[in-house]
Amino acid sequence: MALIITDECINCDVCEPECPNSAISEGDEIYEIDPNLCTECVGHYDEPQCQQVCPVDCIPNDPAHVENRDQLMEKYERIMAAQA
């Protein structure tokens, strides 16, 4: 399951540099997560790094993009292959 940033985001900018897949970017009003790039840090870390550093706890799972761990690993492998 990809993650999503809710409107409680305070635009503190701590999540963006933590994302190993560059899935987080500055949106019009708050930061946004590209569900095509978000692997919940599967392949990189044990826990989603953006959730770990968020001071307002505004990065829940995105119910519109449900994926299991195997699917997230497949996405990670595709992303890494595209970067090679």
Domain positions in the chain: 16-83
**Predicted local confidence at residue 53, as pLDDT:** 98
Are the C-beta atoms of residues 11 and 68 closer than 8 Å to each other? no
The answer for 13, left when phi > 0, alpha when psi is -120 to 50, beta otherwise, is: left
User: Could you report the per-residue pLDDT of 11-61, keeping only the tens digit for each?
Assistant: 999 999 999 999 999 999 999 999 999 999 999 999 999 999 999 999 999
Angle (CA) 44-49-54 rounded to 5° is 170
Q: Is the dihedral of CA 47, 53, 57, 60 positive or negative?
A: negative
CATH class of 16-83: alpha beta
Closest CA to 57 of 18, 22, 10: 10
